[in-house]
Structure 1
Amino acid sequence: MKYDLSKKPTLGSQRTLKSFSEEMFELIKTKPFERITVREICAACNIPRATFYNYFDDKFDLLKYCWQVLATNIGVDDMPKIPNSKVFVQYFDDAYNFFSAHSSEVDSILLNNSLSSQLGDSFVNYFSGTIQTTVYKTLRGSIKKIPLQLLAEQYSNIIFVIFKWIFLEQNPTSKEQAHIYLRPFLNLDLDSPHHESF
């Protein structure tokens, strides 16, 4: 992404970024991502194409930014602040609550964009990587006998596979039932002094 998100954005930049991301979310509810063009996005936002290219390299870059916005809305950045034993369930619950509240939008997007589409691949890659990074930060310093990267990958894969099965593959499941699915795969006693023998 051309725009540096690490610096505080101006009000104008905030409005521009919001306009582009909101329009992308609207468009992918109505048509496949492959058929969306930068020209169409800019026309819908009433913003010149030159301005689009000041912020993004292409529509894929904008899509990645949309996933960042989504991750912020879910609250991904807050996860490492809670105890290790609860971080995985809390992460899953926040995602579950967000996607349940926006189920009609998710259904519209999936109606036009399959999991094997460019949009589906982009979503899976972004969020599986984000979960893995969050899990890695959470476990850092608490694991002795298993390579941390290996454990982070295992936990993040479990969380994402169950999430994907419920929301993206559309298998309606209560949060309580989802916890039952998670429990056998995750060692939820990570704060235990015996955890290093996991």
Structure 2
Amino acid sequence: MKKDLNAKLSRGALRTLDAFSGAMIDLLRTKPLTSISVNELCERSSYPRATFYNYFDDRDDLLTYCWIAMSGQARIADLESTEPSGRVDLALDMMADMLEDNAALLEEVLEHNPVDGPLFASLRAFITERSRELMRTCIDRERHTLPLELVADHYADTLMLVLDWSYLRGHALMRPELHDYAHVLLEGVERPRA
């Protein structure tokens, strides 16, 4: 993205971002991502192409912004203040909240976009990267002998695997089951050092 989302954005910039993300979401409700053009996004949002390219590199960049807008701010401070044994559950809950809060939209979008297509590949990549950021920040360095980057990647990939299984592949797990699945899959990594 060409705008720094960590900086204070003007009302005009926020309106523009909302217009483009709203246009993307509206179009995804009726057609596959691969059929959506920048021209359509500009027409739907009532902004010219030049404005689009002032904010985004391409359509996929806008899609990433849509995921950011849906997820809200990750609560890294909450993770840091949580006991190490609860951090995986909290990170998993953050990502599950995003999916549950947007369940109706995702269901509509699934009608036009296959679960193994580019739209959901983008969503998976976003969730995995967000999970990596959370886990890199909050891994208990005392519990692991492996390189922390490797452990963070393993945790993030495992969280995505469980979320994908439950929310995108239709195996509807309750939160305690999500947590159990993640911990079973992470058992070898989470085992305390002797």
What CA deviation, in whole Å up to 9, does each residue of 1:15-44 have, x standing for no partner? 111111122122212210010111111111
SS of residue matched to 2:146: coil
State the match for 1:127 in structure 2. Answer: 127
Cα pair 2:79 2:91 within 8 Å, conserved = no
TM, length-normalised to structure 2: 0.87
Name the CA distance, whole Å, in 2 between partners of 1:66 and 1:39: 18
Matched, 1:99 2:99: yes
Name the CA distance, whole Å, in 2 between partners of 1:181 and 1:145: 23
Cα pair 2:79 2:90 within 8 Å, conserved = no
What CA deviation, in whole Å up to 9, does each residue of 1:138-194 have, x standing for no partner? 11633451111121121111111010011111112222222222232335x97xxx9
State the match for 2:111 in structure 1. Answer: 111
Name the CA distance, whole Å, in 1 between partners of 2:59 and 2:9: 21
The one-letter amino acid of 1:57's match is D
State the match for 2:80 in structure 1. Answer: 81
State the match for 1:23 in structure 2. Answer: 23
Gaps of 5+ in 1: none
The one-letter amino acid of 2:192's match is H
Name the CA distance, whole Å, in 1 between partners of 2:130 and 2:11: 27
SS of residue matched to 2:164: helix
State the match for 1:195 in structure 2. Answer: 192
The one-letter amino acid of 2:169's match is E
Q: Give the direction of change, closer, same or farther, for the CA distance of 1:44–1:100 in structure 2 (3 Å limit).
A: same
State the match for 1:175 in structure 2. Answer: 175
The one-letter amino acid of 1:82's match is S
RMSD: 2.4
Q: Give the direction of change, closer, same or farther, for the CA distance of 1:98–1:123 in structure 2 (3 Å limit).
A: closer
Name the CA distance, whole Å, in 1 between partners of 2:106 and 2:144: 40
TM, length-normalised to structure 1: 0.85
Q: CA deviation at 1:4?
A: 2.8
State the match for 1:146 in structure 2. Answer: 146
The one-letter amino acid of 1:157's match is D
Q: Give the direction of change, closer, same or farther, for the CA distance of 1:177–1:5 in structure 2 (3 Å limit).
A: closer
Matched, 1:52 2:46: no
Name the CA distance, whole Å, in 1 between partners of 2:75 and 2:122: 18
Q: Give the direction of change, closer, same or farther, for the CA distance of 1:13–1:172 in structure 2 (3 Å limit).
A: same
Q: Give the direction of change, closer, same or farther, for the CA distance of 1:147–1:133 in structure 2 (3 Å limit).
A: same
Q: Which runs of 4+ in 1 moved over 6 A?
A: none
Q: Give the direction of change, closer, same or farther, for the CA distance of 1:77–1:25 in structure 2 (3 Å limit).
A: farther
Number of aligned residue pairs: give it: 193
Cα pair 1:140 1:148 within 8 Å, conserved = no
Name the CA distance, whole Å, in 2 between partners of 1:22 and 1:79: 30
Q: Give the direction of change, closer, same or farther, for the CA distance of 1:95–1:120 in structure 2 (3 Å limit).
A: same
**Aligned residues with identical type, % of pairs:** 28
